[in-house]
Amino acid sequence: MALPSLTIIVCVHNALEDVKLCLASLSRAEYDGPLSIIIVDDGSDSATAGYLELFAEGAPDVRLIRRDKAHGYTNAANAGLKAATTELRILLNSDAVASRQSFRKIAEVFINSPDVGVVGPLSNAASWQSVPDLSAPEGGWSKNPLPDGVTADDMDRILDAADVDLPKTVRTPLVNGFCFAIRQSVIQQIGYLDEASFPRGYGEEDDYCLRAADAGFGVAIAIRAFVFHAKSKSFGAEARSKLNASGQVALKTKHGEARLKRAVETLRLNPYLGAMRDAVRAGLAATLQSHRTGDELRLAGR
């Protein structure tokens, strides 16, 4: 199966250690098709800016767009989207770590369903796309930290092995923006992210999904793909909460509260997301037991 041309767009504002992990995962990506990277440095400090320059230096498939002053996430994301020319474009948060096969699996959803215009993967921390748990014991969304010794690739393999009967395309009304794949034809028809309503992000991806649906495009989850998300590294939890609240106000103003409630309820009741959470919980327990057994055997052999 020939994979379409793909650009990974990473918008960066400091949080250097997470940026290093993110970019390292892109270097390991296994994608049997044209793959390029655009990094938008949105006013990062000198240490982060210097690292990004070294990463891009001498790499023909990496383009660095540098802005001395931060313009906000949505503006930076649009700069990357406009600079790309490929059939598929993925906005990937700089605190995300992609599994080796995640981009291939995302691309295959587009291939299998020509009407689909927006796709996202599963993750440890991506609201309704989170596995294995949605809610944290202390309240709010769970971040599902990966246990010691378990990697994004391990989680991806658990998704592959999950015994869940899935349709060819798992459709949803919304996709989380931490890893947000867009077909070029969607951009050509509806344009870019709404910078005026969502200048610093948080809500812009929901708005884009709803606009894409209004234009006749499907929205879907690559339910066998996993991308790790550290979450809240550029802004911090308190700032993120405020941005999320303002984003919700803008969404309700544009699309109406009733439509947003329907979208959330559809996600909450999605049987395939629920079944996959259960399967991942069981698969993760089996993986951890296998690790413990291996450790015990190694210790016994000493």
Which residues neighbour 70 within 8 Å (Cβ) at sequence distance 6 or greater?
Answer: 13, 42, 43
pLDDT digits (tens, 9 = 90+) for 120-165: 999 999 999 999 999 998 889 999 999 999 999 999 999 999 999 9
Cα gap 200→247, rounded to integer Å: 9
Grade residue 237 by pLDDT with cuts at 50, 70 and 90: low
Q: What beta strand segments (E) does 53-115 contain?
A: 62-67, 88-93, 96-98
Q: How many whole angstroms separate alpha carbon 290 and alpha carbon 144? A: 20
Span 180-216, pLDDT tens digits = 999 999 999 999 999 999 988 889 999 999 999 999 9
Range 215-228 average pLDDT: 98
Which pLDDT does position 242 carry in this prediction? 76
Cβ-count burial 23-42 (b if 16+ within 10 Å, e if not)? bebbeebebebebbbbbbbb
199: Cα separation from own chain's centroid: 19
Instruction: With H, G, I as helix, E, B as strand and everything else as coil, classify residue 151.
Output: coil
302 falls in which pLDDT band (50, 70, 90)? low
Residue spans per domain, the chain:
6-296
**Per-residue pLDDT tens over the stretch 69-103:** 999 999 999 999 999 999 999 999 999 999 999 99
What percent of the chain has a predicted confidence (pLDDT) above 90? 86
Torsion 203-204-205-208 (CA) sign? positive
Architecture of domain 6-296: Alpha-Beta Complex (3.90)
Q: Which of 135-149, 166-180, 219-233 has the highest mean pLDDT?
A: 166-180
Closest by CA position to 10, among listed 86, 77, 55, 88: 77
Give the mean model confidence (pLDDT) for residues 2-9: 97
The pLDDT, as a whole number, for residue 155 is: 98
Contact 54, 140 (CB under 8 A): no
